């Protein structure tokens, strides 16, 4: 079927709306980073003032967010990935039913991710260094819940699922299927696993900032714990839409926070 200029315009507008909507949602997470306490030793010499460094960091994060949302908005439709709730909102149809279905799957996925992670951490506890176990008990190391929800739930999902996972699936589809037909299931699973692994790797710098010489076991554990969330969120993105993955990631952080408050 040949697209008319008007239909091409409608497709472009649709992608633009989705990209802009996701970008604006992501900005809430980027700006929530301002709430995260920064502990800098008193004798540290900074190249710029702390407020200036924060502004530069916000600009960098916003540019990256914009780039990623554009990639996802252009590539996701080609590999049958989508944002069903946002689309329903713009066409003003099915919002309630889609939200109800996605929130059920998302909350369930987040709870499952927490249970698996908590059980894995408990089993590994005898083999972990004491300083790692004390990290979450130190208030200075706590990230505000709102930042966990908005940055972890929205921004990280946009970066890892909407951007990276979508790109990985699209790349396999273009190389091995010449960009025709629906991508094979194995492409989705590889995209899910690789993006989850990169998501896990992305959390290692935080580990190294607190523990200078972590064991191989601890590094593998931190990666695995984050990959659990990544794999579940990736599957939800594939099967239920990006919003379901966001709900799952948010739920994971909410449950983690609630349990830590009760326990500590």
- Confidence grade of residue 43 (pLDDT, cut at 50, 70, 90): low
Segment 174-225, tens digit of pLDDT: 999 999 999 999 999 999 999 999 999 999 998 888 888 899 999 999 999 9
Which residues, including other chains, have CB under 8 Å from residue 77's CB and lie 6 or more apart? 15
What secondary structure does DSSP assign to 179-226, as a single string?
A: T-SSPPHHHHHHHHHHHHHHHHHTTHHHHHHH-SS--HHHHHHHHHHH
**91 pLDDT more than 60:** yes
Query: Quick one: pLDDT band at residue 138, thresholds 50, 70, 90?
Result: low
DSSP 181: S
* Residue whose tokens read 């590889």: 190
**What's the rounded Cα separation, in Å, for the pair 85 and 87?**
5
Cα–Cα distance between 120 and 150 in angstroms, integer?
Answer: 25
pLDDT tens digit sequence for 94-134? 999 999 999 999 999 999 999 999 999 999 999 988 888 77
3-state secondary structure of 215: coil
Mean pLDDT of all residues belonging to the chain: 89
Residue 261 pLDDT: 85
DSSP-assigned letter for residue 183: P
Cα distance from N-terminal residue to C-terminal residue, the chain: 61
> The dihedral of CA 161, 164, 170, 171: what is its sign?
negative
* pTM of the entire predicted model: 0.91
């Amino acid at each position: 079927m040949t697209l008319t200029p008007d239909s091409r315009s409608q497709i472009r507008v649709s992608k633009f709306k989705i990209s802009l909507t996701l970008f604006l949602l992501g900005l809430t997470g980027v700006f929530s980073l301002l709430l995260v306490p920064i502990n800098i030793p008193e004798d540290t010499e900074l190249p710029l003032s702390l407020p200036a460094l924060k502004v530069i960091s916000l600009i960098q994060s916003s540019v990256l967010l914009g780039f990623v949302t554009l990639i996802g908005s252009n590539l996701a439709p080609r590999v049958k990935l989508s944002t069903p709730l946002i689309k329903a909102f713009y066409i003003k149809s099915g919002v309630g039913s889609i939200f109800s279905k996605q929130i059920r799957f998302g909350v369930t996925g987040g709870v499952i991710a927490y249970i698996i992670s908590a059980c894995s951490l408990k089993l590994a506890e005898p083999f972990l260094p004491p300083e790692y176990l004390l990290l979450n008990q130190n208030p200075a190391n706590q990230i505000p819940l709102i930042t966990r929800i908005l940055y972890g739930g929205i921004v990280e999902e946009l970066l890892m699922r909407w951007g990276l996972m979508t790109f990985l699936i699209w790349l396999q589809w273009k190389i091995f299927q010449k960009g025709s037909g629906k991508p094979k299931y194995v492409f989705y699973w590889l995209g899910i696993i690789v993006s989850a692994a990169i998501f896990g790797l992305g959390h290692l710098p935080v580990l190294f900032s607190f523990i200078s010489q972590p064991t191989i076991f601890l590094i593998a554990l931190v990666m695995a714990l984050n990959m659990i969330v990544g794999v579940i969120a990736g599957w939800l993105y594939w099967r239920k839409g990006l919003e379901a993955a966001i709900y799952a990631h948010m739920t994971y952080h909410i449950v983690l926070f609630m349990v830590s408050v009760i326990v500590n």
